[in-house]
Structure 1
Amino acid sequence: MPLPRISAAELMTENPRTVRVDDPIGEAVDVLQTTDFRHLPVVDEQGELVGMLSDRDLRALRLPYAEDAAVVDAALQKARVPVSTMMSSNVLSVGPDADVTELMELMLENKIGALPVVDGEGALLGIVSYVDIFRGILEEA
């Protein structure tokens, strides 16, 4: 069965929540914990995409229950470092006209769960996750 022709612009979450490269990593953790998001685009001062931060990137910060004050202090110190230290900077992105098939192929080939959608100048327009793709295909079926 052929897939419906759906573009990234039709599937994406527009104006997604973002963090900046100099935001403390603890702020990004708070965003991920208080939303349903698993991926946060990282932008510079001009709003251009410079990286991605995922829940997978933040696994190093998760600690089991710790009674040792030194362990707790180390975790708090890590929470203060900038997002730029933990983000993925080699980010695949797509334009708004990218087809759903292209999105799926990129996600599968690169083992990623979301793709930022950018304009010709690199400004972030939205983000497409695999859940967005599933939802879009089901709505077209």
Structure 2
Amino acid sequence: MSIKDIKAKDVMVKNPISIPPSEQVAAADLLMTRNSIGGLPVIDLEGNFIGEISLRDIMLSRFNISVGGMKVEDIMKKHAVAVSPDTSLKEVLEKMIEKRLRRIAVVEDNKLVGLIVHKEILKEIYNRIK
């Protein structure tokens, strides 16, 4: 299989850590910090992908208001970019570059099935060329 044949499902992290929109922003911050990740997919009670929240979102919101009692849904990106498991790596990269993303959700039938992080793409390409 060449690099041109790589699909989103080949480089995604399965069962990524996620958070519900009703969770406190402070809990999202702690979850990201403890797991050394920069963002989380936000899913509803049925597992539908509804957005994402990042450490950057939290930092920017702190400049405007106190995030103490805020919920994830108050500051999450509601129209986050997502791809399907069969999306080509080329298309994934184009979206990530165009939108300046470090991660992109992989969604099937509105359900979160994975997360692509730029580091995983680099690992996959490296493993195929070594």
> Aligned equivalents of 2:16 and 2:125: distance in 1?
21
Gaps of 5+ in 2: none
The alignment of Structure 1 onto Structure 2 pairs a total of residues equal to: 127
TM-score, normalising length from structure 2?
0.90
Distance 1:60 1:36 in 2: 19
8 A contact 1:22–1:84 mirrored in 2: yes
- The structure 1 residue matched to 2:114, chosen from 121, 126, 137, is 126
Cα drift, residue 58 of structure 1:
1.2
TM-score, length basis structure 1: 0.84
| Counterparts in 2 of 1:49 and 1:112: CA distance versus 1, 3 Å | same
CA RMSD in angstroms comes to 1.7
Name the aligned partner's letter for residue 27 of structure 2.
E
Give, as a single letter, the amino acid of the residue that structure 2 aligns with 1:127: L
**5+ unaligned residues in a row in structure 1: which ranges?**
64-73
Question: What is the distance in 2 between the residues matched to 1:79 and 1:19?
Answer: 17
Letter in 1 for 2:85: P
Quote the sequence identity (%).
Answer: 24
Q: CA deviation at 1:4?
A: 3.9
Give the aligned partner of residue 50 of structure 1: 50
Compute the displacement of 1:79 (Å).
2.7
Residue of structure 2 equivalent to 1:32 = 32
| Residue type of the alignment partner of 1:8 | A
Inter-partner Cα distance in structure 1 for 2:61 and 2:98: 27
Q: Is 1:21–1:82's contact at 8 Å kept on the other side of the alignment?
A: yes
Q: Which runs of structure 2 are paired with 1:62-101 in the superposition (5 Å)?
A: 75=66, 78-101=67-90
2:9 — aligned with what?
A: 9
Whether the aligned pair in 1 keeps the contact of 2:83 and 2:106 (CA below 8 Å) is yes
Q: Which residue of 2 aligns with 1:23?
A: 23
Kindly name which structure, 1 or 2, has the bigger radius of gyration based on alpha carbons: 1
2:7–2:86 CA contact under 8 A, matched in 1: yes
Asked if structure 1 preserves the Cα contact closer than 8 Å seen for 2:42 and 2:50, the reply is yes
